[in-house]
Amino acid sequence: MTVEFARFTVRPGAEDRMIADRPAMLAALRARFPACEAAYLTREEDGTWLDVIVWRTREEAAESAKQIMTIPECAAWFEHIDTSLGLSHAEVLDAWPAS
């Protein structure tokens, strides 16, 4: 299992729309990439956002990153992002509760 961390800022005034558009974006993402097992959108104390996506494998996460903009709902959702502050991945070595 791999966890993807995408840190970003949101365009001024776009937060509510970004949250409202998220279910459709995630449905489209999961339809194209069923290895997407979970997603958590968080806002940090400094106002930056962190999207945490759980993938079955690192390879499937990488393939999604290559093709993400070909999914119309994902491309539209990314329009809410002002600045990308980085994307990283981490391998899960232990989990609780176990999946």
Residue 83 inside a domain? The answer is yes
Say which CATH number the domain at 10 has.
3.30.70.100
pTM of the predicted model as reported, rounded to 2 decimal places: 0.92
Residues 1, 60: Cα–Cα separation, whole Å? 10
- Give start and end residues of each alpha helix (H) in the chain: 15-32, 58-67, 72-78
Tell me how many domains the chain contains: 1
Residue 48's CB: how many other CB atoms inside 10 A?
A: 14
pLDDT tens-digit series, residues 47-80: 999 999 999 999 999 999 999 999 999 999 999 9
pLDDT band at 99 (very low <50, low <70, confident <90, very high): low
Asked if residue 12 has a cis previous peptide bond (ω within 30° of 0), the answer is no
**Positive/negative CA dihedral, 72, 12, 9, 54:** negative
Residue 81 inside a domain? The answer is yes
Residue 98 inside a domain? The answer is no
